[in-house]
Amino acid sequence: MHKIWMVTNPLRLGLSAAVAVMTVALVIHFAVLSSPRYCDHLGWCSAAPSANAQLPAPRN
């Protein structure tokens, strides 16, 4: 067996790596969802209502 496992705990190392990956993923997701392109998708950024399923989409 490699000597590194005598120094570090593989369970703690894997758990901390998983927590770090999830934290980075959450930060990226919130950064993308708050960007101007996607923020109105959830209705976070403006008071204007988001798209209504009963209204036809406007053509540009």
The domain locations on the chain are 4-42
Q: What is the pLDDT of residues 1-60, one digit of tens each?
A: 577 778 888 899 999 999 999 999 999 988 887 777 777 666 666 555 555 556 666 666
Query: What does the alpha-carbon distance between residue 55 and residue 2 come to, in Å, rounded to a whole number?
Result: 64
In the prediction, which pLDDT does 31 show? 85
User: Which structure tokens are listed for 50?
Assistant: 């988001």
In the prediction, which pLDDT does 41 show? 62
In the prediction, which pLDDT does 34 show? 77
In SS3 terms, the chain reads as CCCHHHHCCHHHHHHHHHHHHHHHHHHHHHHHHCCCCCHHHHCCCCCCCCCCCCCCCCCC
